[in-house]
Structure 1
Amino acid sequence: MGRPKKDDKVHIVRTEHVLFFTRLFEGLNIDLLPLLRETRVPNTLIDQPEYLYLPESTLKNLLQKLGQSVSISEYGLRVWEMCSVKYVPSYLEKLEDGVSLKVCLTEFGELLKRESSNTKVYVKQAGGSWWLVREKSGVEEVWFKYAEMFSVLFMVQLLKQLTHGQYQPTEIGVQSNVIDDFLKLPELHKVRFYSERPVTALKIDDELIEQLVTIGKKSSEPNEFMPTILSFTQSLKLALSPYFTAGKLPLDMASDITNIHSRTIQRRLREEGTNYKEFSEEILFALIKSALTRSHNVSKIAQQFGYSDCAHFTRAFKRYEGVTPSQYRASIDAK
């Protein structure tokens, strides 16, 4: 992918959202595994992974790749269809029924913050009108235009479904400096766009904002929200753990995946009393111990985590844990 400006924070999203974005490529002549490698998504994503979170950068990379692989019109159609049929309905099931549109959208913004650590969506009154607002940094980066197009289409579809088709987009402010591509998106060719705005914002008619929302079907499954991130180390661990399932992850690769400079990673970890070597070993051996609880096949586990032979694996495990993998496994059996 391109080389965007380095960040200094770890932003994470739920894995289910990354899975959704990969489905936007269905039907295209693009092999999945090379696509995942190019967009810095772990290959294990296709095997019903157990990890709940991934770096937000994976979503940005996927949208940029899709936008550069198809025409703007096809990009818009793919996003519009997936949002209308699957993505928006998955959120509607989690929202409260029988409240005003304003309250419902506020609830949606709170829900979104719990599923993506770098997302801010809210309702605001400005210039005598109501707006659904989305804040996002990175407007100068390549992925941003495609991400903003996605957000506009998603928010339009969200408003249409919450109002049962009564909402029709008329005025939209975008952060991007060129609006021609936005006019090629589904149902937006007659919209009045304002470019180079500080935020992305969709105008909502006054008569809709206090209208009661009827959602209907509700999900019976409890919402699982992102944990409160207390430190850089904790958020970095959530973001990078999926990449250790195949073995060690060098610092330069961690930097590339998270879009955080390697020196920044080391500095932030040092400020919290650790370093990348200790941090990465803690993740790696925690995953190895988890694998040992499920299997007696030490050789297979050694191979899975990238060790050249069982002897090398045994020495590394004993250095870290104080016992051999076989002894660790035996202690589990004895319990």
Structure 2
Amino acid sequence: MTTSGNIFTNHKHGYIPIKANLDSIAEKVKISQLTSRTIDTSSLERLQIAIDTFIEHEDLGLTFISDIFGCSKRNIQRILKDHGTNFQETIKKQKNEHAITLLNENISIIDIAQRLGYNDPSNFTRAFKKHLGVSPSLYRQT
């Protein structure tokens, strides 16, 4: 990390400008997510990797992701539109996928809801059930 707060992954391919404390996030990031594998992937895949990497970050949103990529929010929206989705749907899908991982690790539903940015566990349960058709507790049992 530079003193300006920018992280340079590869000068040839760009940088990720972030004004956040990455120490707590960095230990959760898989090394394979930060290697050249991401350079060869499509824009949508790189976007999904970035969202997955910061899925528990409190500032996760369109502005945060566009800052990571160093582009406008509209560019992110265009990428998603070209793939038949939008930012909200992408976030919901990835949060639910991450929730499944956390449920399989036997983390409490309340903790999962908090980690994914839900103020109320019932909102998390409702969103999860809408996506998968079963509640988180029922999913865990099966």
TM-score by length of 2: 0.75
Residue 244 of structure 1 aligns to a residue whose secondary structure is coil
Find out whether 1:43 has 2:24 as its counterpart: yes
The answer to whether the 8 Å contact 1:240/1:254 transfers is: yes
Question: For the residues of structure 2 that align with 1:39 and 1:299, how far apart are their CA atoms?
Answer: 25
Call closer, same or farther: CA 1:39–1:227 in 2, change over 3 Å.
Answer: closer
Tell me the amino acid that sits aligned with residue 240 of structure 1: I
Percent of aligned pairs with the same amino acid:
30
Tell me the secondary structure at the aligned position of residue 80 of structure 2: helix
- Shift in alpha-carbon separation, 1:44–1:258, aligned structure 2, 3 A: same
Q: Name stretches of at least 5 consecutive residues in structure 2 with no aligned partner.
A: 6-12
Change (3 A) 1:235 1:244: same
Q: Superposition RMSD on alpha carbons, in Å? A: 2.9
Counting helix residues as a fraction of each chain, which structure ranks higher?
A: 2
| 1:38 partner SS | coil
Q: Contact 2:51 / 2:91 at 8 angstroms: preserved in 1?
A: no
CA contact (8 A) 2:77 2:86 kept: yes
Q: Is the 8 A contact 2:44 2:80 kept in 1?
A: yes
Whether 2:129 is the aligned partner of 1:309: answer no
Structure 1 residue aligned with 2:46:
235
The residue correspondences of 1:89-168 to structure 2 (distance < 5 A) are 115-116=35-36
> Contact 1:11–1:235 (CA<8 Å) still a contact in 2?
no
Q: Which runs of 5+ in 1 are unaligned?
A: 3-9, 14-36, 55-114, 117-225
- Residue pairs, 1:288-327, within 5 angstroms: 288-327=99-138
CA distance in 1, matches of 2:88, 2:123: 18
TM-score of the superposed pair, with normalisation by structure 1 = 0.35
Structure 1 12/321 Cα, relative in aligned 2: closer, same or farther at 3 Å? farther
CA distance in 2, matches of 1:12, 1:257: 8
Residue correspondence of structure 1 range 211-250 to structure 2 within 5 A:
226=37, 229-246=40-57, 249-250=60-61
